[in-house]
Structure 1
Amino acid sequence: MKVVHSPLHARHDGGKELHRGELVPCFEMPSRADFILQALRREGFAVGGPREFPLESLLRVHDAGFVEFLRTAHAEWRAVGKEGFMLPSGFPARSLRRDHIPAGINGKMGYYAFDASTPIVEGTWDAALAAAHCALTAAAHVVEGERGAYALCRPPGHHAGHAVYGGYCFLNNAALAAQYLRDHGKKRVAVLDVDYHHGNGTQDIFWERSDVLFVSIHGTPETEYPYFLGYADERGAGEGEGYTRNFPLPRGTAWAEYVTALDAALDTVGGFAPDALVVSLGVDTYEGDPISAFKLETRHYPLMGERLARLGIPTVFVQEGGYAVEDLGSNVAGVLKGFLARG
């Protein structure tokens, strides 16, 4: 399996996040990618860099004004005399206008963000663009005939919507991979999100489409981030009605309960009969994860990979969450090894 990675991920580093009411150092840190890379190299995976893609590739799933904001945000921040990391201080919530984008950087930041857990620093755009290119490159490998490919994306992407960022995510890497597959001959594509947190951004992007199925297994939004999407009754709209499926699970879910939801999700994917699959691979379902509350163990991740392989569908793996950094690489490698073991 080809692994795609860019060292530019390290340019997104620094700042703090507002986590459950406290300002703390970011859980999403450069060492996440480093631990994964080390583990994959120990297991003998070949690692290559991403290809370059035109900026227009991003516009297949993202709003042009949003992309331009991300590209220029930190320069605008510096232009008004600010330094360091950027966090928004106001949002267009209920009763406030959402039809006008403020001219000032503070207003624009709040307009495009949906939380204060996703700081922008000087190198954020470079890292986010490189992550997008990793996902697109992995999708290209699958289009070119690979059974599977893995994009070591950092920052992650599944919380980023058509025109919104948050949850450590700026560009939606999984959605970009899925769209690339669609644009290059795969008529039906499924996205399976196994991150602990609901992939609200991916759901947003494909909400009204029937050519891309979105399925997510995650912690219930009754208590878990992002709180306001991910309920079981969300099933898409218009042409996309029935092409979104959510499997929310309670805090404390262990493998015995999780695998039941996983098998139901895989049955849903199989019933769609996709030509390709994108897996949003978050391993923050791990029992040691500092910001999540499932109880999966390292020994369960190869079992997940084996189940994914049973579908017999060309698969792009896109890295999402996972914050127990010392065990992160072993858990990611476990999924990929399990997938390959099924032959």
Structure 2
Amino acid sequence: MTIITDERCTGYHAPGHPERPQRISATKARLRQQTDLPLQWTQPGEITDQDLLRAHSAAHLQRLEEPRDFDMDTAWLPEIHLHARRSAAAALTALQLALAGQPAFSLMRPPGHHATRDRAMGFCYLNNAAIAALAARARGVQRVAVFDFDVHHGNGTEDILLDQPGTLFVSVHQHPAYPGTGTSHRGSNCRNYPVPPATPATEYRAHLQHALADLETFQPDLLIVSAGFDAYIRDPLARQMLEIEDFHWLGAQIRSLGRPTLTLLEGGYSRDLPELIFAYLKGISGY
């Protein structure tokens, strides 16, 4: 497993905001001190406007540089467009590794799955998963799946990939919850599994298994995982009941699909995030 990160991604913050630098710094410290799982480390490579414009409009890229907040949750901050580009670049580095047979995890911020083609929202500025999926298609990968298990629906990824040939988007998420989308399947390729608040972990796993069955049926040549750890019982931004062992189980289930896989960090705002990520990485690595 290769971890992709860049220390500059902890160099911005909005006071009091839950999407804080410690999400990365604490996780990096936990992964560096552990001895159970062999890890390699690398930094993001380069990304071009062409890579971004497959998923986003030129107007959106320009808007990211304009010093006005995007919404109450998504602030404009100095150099936020550069931070977002590095996070998207990490997704492409993870893509390159996965296509070479090396599983990869992008430990970066900002997250991406709420960003639509034309709008930054929900802590997200550029849609890393969609950028990677469309880059893979442009490189000739025939069947690309995105599996989003963040507790909030990946509305932006759905917006960008809806009815895109050769792609599948599958999401398991709490509803009702932000952003209020994902109540039913959409188009020819977007499968949504909304889960009520406070669903017992055994029932939540059943919803995840429906999503995993969709992935198995699709038989992707590449699997992109939008990994949000906010369905955890002690996460402050949702009302679900998953424990640490559930994320290990989910990683193991993804591994059992036997597909080239890259994972991108989305949400997860509890103090236990480093342990949740570590459990997931052990599961997806077969430990």
TM-score calculated relative to the size of structure 1: 0.80
- Find the aligned partners of 2:137 and 2:282 in 1 and give their Cα distance: 27
Q: Does 1:73 align with 2:25?
A: no
- Find the aligned partners of 2:137 and 2:104 in 1 and give their Cα distance: 16
2:10–2:25: 8 Å Cα contact kept in structure 1?
no
Q: Does 1:224 align with 2:177?
A: yes
Deviation at 1:270, TM superposition (A): 0.9
Comparing 198-207 and 26-35, the one that deviates more: 26-35
1:217–1:248: 8 Å Cα contact kept in structure 2?
yes
Residue identity opposite 2:45 in structure 1:
R
Deviation at 1:124, TM superposition (A): 1.3
Deviation at 1:126, TM superposition (A): 1.9
Q: Which has the larger radius of gyration?
A: 1
Q: Does 1:169 align with 2:169?
A: no
Deviation at 1:192, TM superposition (A): 0.4
TM superposition outliers: structure 1 runs of 4+ over 6 Å: none
2:47–2:85: 8 Å Cα contact kept in structure 1?
no
- Find the aligned partners of 2:124 and 2:17 in 1 and give their Cα distance: 13
- SS of alignment partner, residue 66 of structure 2: helix
- Find the aligned partners of 1:330 and 1:158 in 2 and give their Cα distance: 22
Among all aligned residue pairs of Structure 1 and Structure 2, give the percentage whose two residues are the same amino acid: 37
* Aligned partner (choices 140, 145, 150) of residue 190 of structure 1: 145
Deviation at 1:65, TM superposition (A): 1.1
1:194–1:218: 8 Å Cα contact kept in structure 2?
yes
* Aligned partner (choices 89, 99, 118) of residue 74 of structure 2: 118
- Find the aligned partners of 1:11 and 1:119 in 2 and give their Cα distance: 15
State how 1:92-241 maps to structure 2 within 5 Å. 113=70, 115-146=71-102, 148-220=103-175, 223-227=176-180, 229-232=181-184, 234-236=185-187, 241=188
1:153–1:173: 8 Å Cα contact kept in structure 2?
no
- SS of alignment partner, residue 216 of structure 1: strand
Deviation at 1:178, TM superposition (A): 1.3
Q: Does 1:250 align with 2:196?
A: yes
1:253–1:295: 8 Å Cα contact kept in structure 2?
yes
- Find the aligned partners of 2:164 and 2:245 in 1 and give their Cα distance: 36
Deviation at 1:184, TM superposition (A): 2.0
Give structure 1 stretches of 5+ with no counterpart: 16-24, 75-85, 88-112
- Find the aligned partners of 1:212 and 1:36 in 2 and give their Cα distance: 31
* Aligned partner (choices 36, 54, 60) of residue 48 of structure 2: 54
- SS of alignment partner, residue 20 of structure 2: coil
Deviation at 1:290, TM superposition (A): 0.6
- Find the aligned partners of 2:199 and 2:26 in 1 and give their Cα distance: 26
Deviation at 1:280, TM superposition (A): 0.2
- Find the aligned partners of 1:248 and 1:42 in 2 and give their Cα distance: 37
- Find the aligned partners of 1:254 and 1:286 in 2 and give their Cα distance: 11
- Find the aligned partners of 2:282 and 2:97 in 1 and give their Cα distance: 18
Q: Does 1:274 align with 2:186?
A: no
Give structure 2 stretches of 5+ with no counterpart: none
1:139–1:181: 8 Å Cα contact kept in structure 2?
yes
Superposition CA RMSD, Å: 1.3
